[in-house]
Amino acid sequence: LVQKKHIHTSTTTFNINTMMRVVAIVLAVSHVAGAFMPSATFGARSVSSSTLKSSAVPDGEKLKKAAAVYEEPRMNPDRPELPELKGDFDWDAKFGADPDWIVDNVPGKIVMNEIELASQVTALSALEEQWRKERVQDEYDGAQQVGWSYKAETMNGRFAMFFLVVGLLTEAWTGVSIPGQIEEMLRVGGVIGFEG
């Protein structure tokens, strides 16, 4: 009984020590990762080294201190669903005196009447129809295998170059010229020289 109790106690001590090491490693990794990540992304301040090194503090208190260090990110007062941007201010007020600064007819802020909007919709519809016709024509040309199309001409050129190289290599190996090879092919196929 004494040995079993001793084993159980050492196992419990081992588990507590392991848990303390894991918590210290997690805190250290989050501290290192926080140094390379912008704080607005995580909304957390960096953990001080004294927090990581204090081993006399129990695990529960360490977790409470770590939770106290975490802060929620500040939200944008104009749009509360978005985080606050550093340096977010009125650019028009800052650069309004600059002669190159555009204040009127800024894209996205232009107010248009219904006639201008209708003319834009008409022009965009015509442009959309033109692009649709071009897309349909490109799809048709891409699917066409024969005739005066880009794909047919590409395949014709590839076959011509392939058979020219085969004819030249055959001529180099056998000594029969390309016209001689064509004549021999026609005789073997029975197109010429058929007597009977």
Q: Do 23 and 51 touch, CB atoms closer than 8 A?
A: no
pLDDT at 1: 46
> What is the rounded radius of gyration, in angstroms, for the C-alpha atoms of the chain?
40
pLDDT at 34: 60
pLDDT at 31: 61
pLDDT at 58: 58
Residue 30: Cβ within 10 Å count: 19
Please tell me what DSSP assigns to residue 44: B
Cα 78–Cα 83–Cα 88 angle in degrees, nearest 5: 60
Helices (H), the chain: 2-36, 39-42, 49-53, 59-69, 91-95, 114-143, 150-174, 178-188
State the 10-residue block means of pLDDT for the chain, 196 residues long: 48 61 72 54 48 56 70 74 71 79 75 89 96 92 79 89 95 93 89 74
pLDDT at 41: 44
